[in-house]
Structure 1
Amino acid sequence: MTTEVRPLPHLLSVRAIILRPIFDMFDGNSGTLRKLLARHGLDSRVLEDDYAPVPLQTYLGFFEDAAVSLDDPNLGLRLGASVRPGGFGPMGLRATQCATIYRGLESLVRFTSALQSGTQVTLEEEAEHVILRYMITASQVGPSRQDNEFTLAGMCSLIRKGYDLRWRPLEVHFSHPPPDAPGRVERWFDAPVLFSQATNMLVIDPKDAHRVYREEDPDMLDLIDRHLASMLERAGEGQSASEQVRALIALYLGAKPITLETIAPVMQTSRRSLQRRLAEEGTTLKELLRSYRQERAEILLTQMGVSVEAVASTLGYADGTSFWRAFKSWTGRSPSKARRSSASAGDE
């Protein structure tokens, strides 16, 4: 197996290690697996090199197609439920060396870009809850149900296997529409699960998050950190201000206000500095928000089972009427007409 570790390219991508559990599902049926790889333009060498970069859109399409090929619509959930800390690579092992669940999740957030770009993960402590948010922020990447369920279930598995087998979140949110059998998802998380939400997230009890489970070994953490440092792209490196803002819009839209006052602190800059940087790039926060809402709306309106009211809520509108007016001003069409046009095109 190749051991050389190379930084991820600026092309949106994931490490092949993320696909390893999917590959293992085809054990004994390598012919089907290789055909699936070829269909998605993947070189079979990714089977041998865990650190090889795979385009993000290719990964998502491959995951969805694998679920169909294996006749398992709950593939992502099932793989996430069985993942062990090592399934997240060295960052998973590091997370389970931490004293508390909160510090372990902080570690995952810190090193996410070592394994996957084009995504945003945040951990925030709010009034009564700890919130872990996960969202693919790149636009036009296609369906992501399998990745969403795999990621959140995998994070729960990491907490259970690394800290407490009886642990469960207070609530789980998914951005994709409900599956045919949502009860199975809820039974596995052992918590209420909401679909068609603004973002993917785990709601965690602060008492659970800050309970001390072990004494940390600083030498062990330092050893893992040195390895991860060779893989990690610094947050925001090579990205423009508008790209960083767009990623945060995708993460927070529908969950908290999108304003310069809320976005600037996350980027560790001031309101005026951020406004100036965006102006230098020929855009504004308002324009980035409008552009993202339009792109996201057109994607959501193609998904069966997602009402116009749900789309409006996901995009941060107070009601369906406000969204209807905005969409009409962007496209000259009503949301319902856009949905019918998309359905007609799909039937051709």
Structure 2
Amino acid sequence: MFLHVRWSHINLADFLPFGAALEEATTIGGFISRFTQAVASETNSISQSLFVEDTTAYFSAKRKFVPTVSPAHIDGFMIGIWITFLHEALDFRWDPASVLVRMCDPAVLPQEFHGIRAIKSNDLGFSIRFPAAWLTIPLNGVFAPKDTDDLVGPQLDMLAPKGFVEAIRAILEKHISENDLSVEKAAELCGFSKSALARRLAKFDTTIIEILTVLKMDSAKRNLTSSNASIQSIALGLGYSDATAFSRAFRKRTGLSPRAYRQSVKTMDQ
């Protein structure tokens, strides 16, 4: 149930769609404020806000629609991004006891994720509560790239996705075996409408269908090489109508039929 996404250093100015404006921010508060303003001009389906009450700050995302599929993973993904951002910006000043997250399914976050507390709320959004004093902390070094060459094992598993397309892939990969994973459902799982996600992906010269196809082919290759499952069962498990449709799509991508691909891998391993 946990959200197995790699976290550590992430350059939000590169990751989020409004990088140039965000990178001009000098404090945590400035960065979040610029983000909420940029989002307001990008979409009318989700509102992002930063609210300060006395000594407490609340950063929240609220949907203006009732989702038809669980938003748990996309909410968990975005919470992970923002908590990692705060954790790095604060450095030695990080105090997880001062942070409270509200989300629809706390179980999707790894246990003890940076020590934060997460409690259950509804499907309409999430919020992160933290000390308002953190808003004035400067962003020294947060946007600088981090050398990951020396990271191994668990450290390497905590690396965050490097960009928007990789993030979309990470979210959809968990659902790739669902038979009803349509383009519309895929977009909603990622927190977008079909048209909004299509526009965002067009900037990276790709589409929702292309990402779903690549994920299905990757899954098919793993199944073909690591199991004795029939071609028909693999096809149905990936949402294809039958083995013929799957074989046609697989051959188009790899130049081999599923059966020939499986045999070629076995030959290489001998």
- TM-score (norm: length of structure 2): 0.43
- TM-score (norm: length of structure 1): 0.34
